[in-house]
Amino acid sequence: MKNQRKTRYYNQNLILILAAISILRLIYLLYTPFDLSPDEAHYWEWSRHLSLSYYSKGPGVAYIIAFFTALLGSTAFAVRAGAVVFAAGGSYFMYLIGCEITGEEKTGFYAALLSTITPLLSVGSILMTTDVPFIFFWAGTVFFFMRALKSQKMIHWYVAGLLAGLGFLSKYTMVLIYPTLLLFLLSGKEQRRLLLSPGPYVAGIITTIVSLPVFIWNFANKGVTFRHTLGQAHVGSGGFSIKEPLDFIASQAGLFTPLIFAGFVYGIYRCGRKGFGGRSTAHLFCFFASAFVFFFFLFAGFHGKVQANWAIAAYVTALPAAVWVFQEAYKKSRPRGSRVKKTLAVLGVLTVLMGTVGTVIAYCPWLLEPLAPKILWGPPFNRVTSWQKLGDKVSDVKEEMEAEAEHDSGGEKIFIMSNTYQITSELAFYTRGQPAAYNVNTGSRRMNQYDLWPGFAALKGHDAIYVKGGNAGLTPRTGAAFRECKKERFPIYYKGRLLKEFSIFRCYGFKGFAAPAREDGETQKF
């Protein structure tokens, strides 16, 4: 009875805390000065063209955004609201994983709380990227795999397979969950017996069925996603670099804070020792779920650039593991006033403090402006600034051109375009009325989702607003596509400092583009 009361205490209090944090995050999103990032705007574009899949990712993020924008309107708040919901769910699954690893609700409780102040996870909870639903589904899959391995109940295998499939629709990194499971099953005599049970295979079948939309879409689109993904993963790359893996490790310590990252590493190491010692299957699975993912991307770095967030799944189990080893060390360090116990207490406070400060700075970077005045126009914050101002400017230009066209020629339609998918997506979202926007291929970029949607063929005779980043000129191909183009520089300043600059071209009399070669060897149809 006492344990049940304690379980309810931690569970109920965690739900209340996560609800309160989610409300605060939603309030922040209502008043944040930061615009949608280019990726968020691009995923919003996907949500306007719902499909079985998309060029670079599965359809999960698009359907989540479509749901919340249908409910709340096509606003930045609505685009990001889903991130808050899925982040809270992901933290709760980390609580359940912590409980499963140690059998103590306290471990899961503090793991979930730590996830809310870990800078990368915390910032991700207010940005609607593919990582947010992916972490939720990865954490859910890990938890139900752990339950299935312990109970051997088929319902747990069913749910794990379903969540893994939904995770794959969110981000393709989800495929690593099955090599993780296989390594676990091959790691010992007791685990190998499970290879003869139907559970893992049934889960795999369910995952495959749920993932079918991606494969069907790719079959209809000549496998463009798989070729893009293999290129991103540097499959077949002959290069070799020591610098990239070192940069990757440094980025992990920076994004999670050095103390939290150190806790992750030590926690997983201890999980491996306990798991391979035959004392805990939960710890062993926790070890593989973190170590395999981390080292997969670490070794990928020897052949090319690995983004800092690619290994984020590794920390879903590393976080509860870090809390577990800290608790174990604290319990064993006696007496109460010992130097070891005091040192651990100080480290615990510093870890929480560093995570909290990192999160506050990420949410409110202007607090550092007196100390670091360039922070608001440097990366990563320059990715979420100035887009609304650009949209307002392009809206004004569009209205002026529409007024001219109505007076001069009876009202020619005006379309908007850019040479990058990032600017194109931001223009589509922030231009008044959220019109369709087009991404021209000048021959210097990779293929993207815009190339798979209707292009410029139906726009001949129309006028256009063409936006490029920086103080840029027209390529000969673009200039030849119009009767006339007039350039206007549009700098955006913050407290007298240049944030961004764009070149806005008023282009008249669209004649059509010559078709450049596409990534798949065919030509675009203009």
Residue 250's domain comprises 2-367
Give me the tens of pLDDT residue by residue for the chain, a chain 526 residues long: 455 556 678 999 999 999 999 999 999 999 999 999 999 999 999 999 999 999 999 999 999 999 999 999 999 999 999 999 999 999 999 999 999 998 889 999 999 999 999 888 999 999 999 999 999 999 999 999 999 998 889 999 999 999 999 999 999 999 999 999 999 999 988 888 889 999 999 999 999 999 999 999 999 998 888 787 766 555 445 566 788 888 888 888 877 778 888 889 999 999 999 988 877 888 999 999 999 999 998 888 787 777 878 889 999 999 999 999 988 888 877 666 677 888 888 888 888 898 888 899 889 888 887 776 666 667 778 889 999 999 999 999 999 999 887 756 554 589 999 999 999 999 999 999 999 999 998 777 888 999 999 888 889 999 999 999 999 999 888 999 999 999 999 999 887 788 899 999 999 999 998 765 443 333 333 3
Taking residue 425's Cβ as centre, other Cβ atoms within 10 Å add up to: 28
Residue 415, helix vs strand vs coil: strand
The position carrying tokens 């889903």 is: 82
The position carrying tokens 């296989």 is: 182
pTM to 2 decimal places: 0.91
Q: Which helix (H) or strand (E) holds 80?
A: helix 76-102
Q: Name the domain count of the chain.
A: 2
Can you tell me the distance from the alpha carbon of 501 to that of 490, in angstroms, rounded to the nearest whole number?
6
Taking residue 373's Cβ as centre, other Cβ atoms within 10 Å add up to: 12
Q: What is the bridge-based pairing of β-strands 437-439 and 482-494?
A: unpaired
Token representation of residue 256 = 């999670």
User: Do 131 and 238 sit in the same domain of this protein?
Assistant: yes
The residue out of 317, 333, 367 marking a domain boundary is 367
Can you tell me the distance from the alpha carbon of 297 to that of 306, in angstroms, rounded to the nearest whole number?
7
In a domain, 523, yes or no: no
User: Do 76 and 167 sit in the same domain of this protein?
Assistant: yes
Cα dihedral 30, 36, 37, 38, rounded to 10, equals: 170
User: Do 270 and 242 sit in the same domain of this protein?
Assistant: yes
User: Do 205 and 236 sit in the same domain of this protein?
Assistant: yes
In a domain, 173, yes or no: yes
User: Do 349 and 390 sit in the same domain of this protein?
Assistant: no
In a domain, 36, yes or no: yes
User: Do 139 and 189 sit in the same domain of this protein?
Assistant: yes
User: Do 210 and 266 sit in the same domain of this protein?
Assistant: yes
Amino acid identity, position 28: Y
Token representation of residue 229 = 């993904």
The alpha carbon of residue 425 and the mean position of all alpha carbons in its chain are separated, in whole angstroms, by: 17
Q: Single out the residue of 52, 318, 275, 311 nearest to residue 176, CA to CA.
A: 311
User: Do 413 and 352 sit in the same domain of this protein?
Assistant: no
User: Do 325 and 418 sit in the same domain of this protein?
Assistant: no
Token representation of residue 105 = 């609700």
In a domain, 46, yes or no: yes
Can you tell me the distance from the alpha carbon of 7 to that of 105, in angstroms, rounded to the nearest whole number?
6
Task: Say if residues 241 and 303 touch (Cβ distance below 8 Å).
Answer: yes
At residue 330, the pLDDT reads 81
Task: Say if residues 62 and 50 touch (Cβ distance below 8 Å).
Answer: yes
Complete DSSP assignment for 293-330 = HHHHHHHHTTSS---TTTTTTHHHHHHHHHHHHHHHHH
Can you tell me the distance from the alpha carbon of 26 to that of 88, in angstroms, rounded to the nearest whole number?
12
At residue 304, the pLDDT reads 74
The residue out of 319, 337, 367 marking a domain boundary is 367
Taking residue 365's Cβ as centre, other Cβ atoms within 10 Å add up to: 17
In a domain, 262, yes or no: yes
In a domain, 306, yes or no: yes
At residue 142, the pLDDT reads 97
Token representation of residue 111 = 């793991």
Q: Single out the residue of 93, 3, 104, 90 nearest to residue 324, CA to CA.
A: 104
Cis peptide before 335 (omega within 30 of 0): yes
* Phi and psi torsions of 84, nearest 5°: -65, -45
Q: Single out the residue of 375, 431, 361 nearest to residue 35, CA to CA.
A: 431
User: Do 211 and 170 sit in the same domain of this protein?
Assistant: yes
In a domain, 379, yes or no: no
Residue 239, helix vs strand vs coil: coil
In a domain, 522, yes or no: no
Token representation of residue 177 = 């969950």
User: Do 7 and 64 sit in the same domain of this protein?
Assistant: yes
User: Which alpha helices (DSSP H) does 103-198 contain, by range?
Assistant: 105-117, 119-124, 131-151, 154-170, 177-186, 189-193
User: Do 91 and 233 sit in the same domain of this protein?
Assistant: yes
The position carrying tokens 């800092």 is: 308
